[in-house]
Structures are given as structure tokens and as C-alpha cells.
């Protein structure tokens, strides 16, 4: 397992984001590293701009994730992985350290699913909505796109190779961000196209509070990526937070313990990013690769 930490800087903000964990497929080969680094940097800087201006953690994580959703290199928004029938079904969630949460599963028309998840949190009495129609988006002032907007040539090629049996790894991926702002508030956001070749209607961990996302002030904010079913079964994001809250475990130790018990011992892979209540940032994964950016200032450390 690889684990990276960034120490908190006094009482200033902290930010981390990930662009997915898993085995590399052709379109995620090492020679494309520079393009992925540019995407991660752009997303980090969007979130950091919010934090540096005194903005709150929720605005920061949404700003970072939206940039990644708009970048077709990542498995979220445009360029998301496709289902077995060649469609994009998008999942996203947001959660604040005060306990508010919103999520969407099998979204088909929202250009930015993270905005839709936030709208569910802020403008409805619900936490999770499945397959909302275009009218729902329009009522909440969200940008509507046709379904083919999300589909790229690279993802079609990936699906073709997968269905033909030419590739069996690197099927999953997700994007997400976690932040602690100058006021000590934490928040998390996660967005994904799911697993390449998944059944239509399959939902992974990304929109499930406690599995792919969790946040609680003075404890941690967590965003996960990897084999979604394993993260759901192990309630991974919440398990990490519970270890910190109830057993007073260190953030890094809690992550290692949860990964060992819920993923590694069961043969599953994935990763997560977390920011503690003290601003400490941890990036961890037991998969072959994970794209991430982390820091407590305007220039992040990158892992690609």
C-alpha cells in the first residue's frame, strides 16, 4: 500500500483531489502523464483559489471536481466510462462536515453531476436521487446536455477492447476532492462514470454516503475510488472516520487498518484521499496507480 501525507500549515486550508485508482489501460499509459498532471493541476488550482480567498470547503471541492468532470481524460462527466451498451450513467455526491449530503445515481443529462448532487443536498428534502430527468435539472438551473456529450472515442475503444476480451483490468476510476477551509470546516465531493462495461443501472460506491464519501467536522473528509462493491460492503469511508472518532486513531493509521481489513485481506484494490480535522492530508491506495494532487498551499504535490 502506498500512502502520502501533507502536514497542516498552521491554521490554513488544506486540499486534496484524486483522478482515479486502478490498473492502467492503454489510454492511461505512462506516456500520457503530462496531460494528466495538467488536468490535476487545473483542478487543484480551481479549488485552491476558493480556499485562498476565504471560501468554504464545499465550494472548493465542487470547483475542483467540476474541472475534472469537464476534462475527458478522467472517468467523470465528459469522458466517463461506458456501460455494456455504450451509454454513460454518472454518479456523484457531496457531503459537508456538518452532516449535510446530496447524491445522484445514473445521471444522464447533467453536464456536471457534482452540481446536481449539490442541488439535491441544498434544494430538496432528499439525499439520493436516481436517474433524474431533464426537467428536474432545469428546475434547479443546471446545464442539460444530450447523452452523447459524455461519450468519447477513447472510451468507446476501451469498451470495445473490454467486451472483446482484449483487456480485463483498469475498468474503474473516479474523481474526487476533499478540503478543510480556514474556518476548520471540511467537505468532500466524488464523481464517476462507474466501471467500464458495467450493467446498465449498476451503481457503485461514489454516491453512497459512508461508502465512497464521508465528512464530519473535527474528524475527516474522505473521497474514495476503486472497486465500488468492496467499498460499499466495507463502508470504507465511514469506517475510517469511525476509527478516528471513536478509537482516537491517527488518520494515516485508520486508513491503513481499514484498507487491510476491508480491501487487502479480501483481494480488492482502490484508493482514497482524506483531510483530517487538523488539516492533515493523506493520499493512499493499494492499486497499481492513482492520480492525485495534495497540499496546503497553491502548488500541490502530484502523484501520477
Catalogue the active-site residues.
174
Measured between alpha carbons, how far is 195 from 191 in angstroms, rounded to an integer?
A: 12
* Gap between the Cα atoms of 252 and 274, Å rounded: 9
What CA–CA distance (Å, rounded) separates 267 from 251? 23
Count Cβ atoms below 10 Å from residue 23 Cβ, excluding itself. Answer: 16
Check residue 97 and report its DSSP letter.
T
CB-based burial of residue 164 (10 Å sphere; 0-12 exposed, 13-18 middle, 19+ buried)?
exposed
Q: Which residue has the cell 473490454?
A: 162
Q: Are 252 and 282 in contact (CB under 8 A)?
A: yes
- Residue 162 contacts residue 23 (beta carbons within 8 Å): no
User: HSE of 80 in the Cβ direction (CA atoms, 13 Å)?
Assistant: 34
Tell me which residue has cell 476503486: 226
The torsion angles phi and psi of 44, rounded to 5 degrees, stand at -65, -45
Return d(Cα 245, Cα 1) in angstroms, integer: 23
Instruction: Residue 224: name the closest of 265, 186, 174 by CA.
Output: 174
d(CA 170, CA 21): 9
> Who's near 100: CB < 8 A, 6+ residues apart?
121, 122
> Is residue 9 a contact partner of residue 297, using CB atoms and an 8 Å limit?
yes
Amino acid at each position: 500500500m502506498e500512502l502520502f501525507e501533507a502536514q497542516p500549515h498552521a491554521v490554513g486550508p488544506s486540499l486534496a483531489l484524486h483522478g482515479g485508482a486502478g490498473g492502467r489501460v492503454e489510454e492511461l499509459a505512462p506516456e500520457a502523464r503530462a496531460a494528466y498532471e495538467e488536468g490535476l493541476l487545473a483542478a487543484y488550482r480551481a479549488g485552491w483559489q476558493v480556499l485562498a480567498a476565504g471560501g468554504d470547503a464545499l465550494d472548493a471541492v465542487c470547483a475542483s471536481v467540476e474541472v475534472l468532470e469537464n476534462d475527458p481524460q478522467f472517468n467523470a462527466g465528459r469522458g466517463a466510462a461506458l456501460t455494456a451498451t455504450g451509454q454513460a450513467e454518472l454518479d456523484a455526491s457531496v457531503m459537508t462536515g456538518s452532516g449535510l449530503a446530496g447524491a445522484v445515481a445514473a445521471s444522464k443529462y447533467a453536464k456536471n453531476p457534482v452540481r446536481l448532487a449539490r442541488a439535491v443536498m441544498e434544494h430538496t428534502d432528499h439525499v439520493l436521487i436516481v436517474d433524474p430527468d431533464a426537467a428536474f435539472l432545469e428546475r434547479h438551473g443546471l446545464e442539460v446536455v444530450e447523452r452523447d456529450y459524455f461519450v468519447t472515442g477513447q472510451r468507446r475503444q476501451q469498451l470495445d477492447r473490454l467486451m472483446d476480451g482484449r483487456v480485463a483490468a483498469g475498468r474503474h476510476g473516479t474523481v474526487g476532492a476533499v478540503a478543510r477551509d480556514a474556518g476548520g470546516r471540511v467537505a468532500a465531493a466524488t464523481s464517476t462514470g462507474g466501471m467500464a462495461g458495467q450493467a446498465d443501472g449498476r451503481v457503485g460506491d461514489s454516491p453512497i454516503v459512508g461508502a465512497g464519501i464521508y465528512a464530519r467536522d473535527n474528524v475527516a473528509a474522505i473521497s474514495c475510488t476503486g472497486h465500488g462493491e468492496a467499498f460499499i460492503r466495507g463502508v470504507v469511508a465511514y469506517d475510517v472516520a469511525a476509527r478516528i472518532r471513536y478509537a482516537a486513531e491517527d488518520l494515516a493509521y485508520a486508513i491503513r487498518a481499514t484498507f487491510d481489513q476491508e480491501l487487502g485481506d479480501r483481494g480488492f484494490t482502490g484508493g482514497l484521499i482524506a483531510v483530517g480535522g487538523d488539516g492533515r492530508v493523506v493520499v493512499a491506495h493499494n492499486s497499481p496507480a492513482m492520480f492525485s494532487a495534495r497540499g496546503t498551499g497553491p502548488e500541490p504535490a502530484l502523484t501520477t
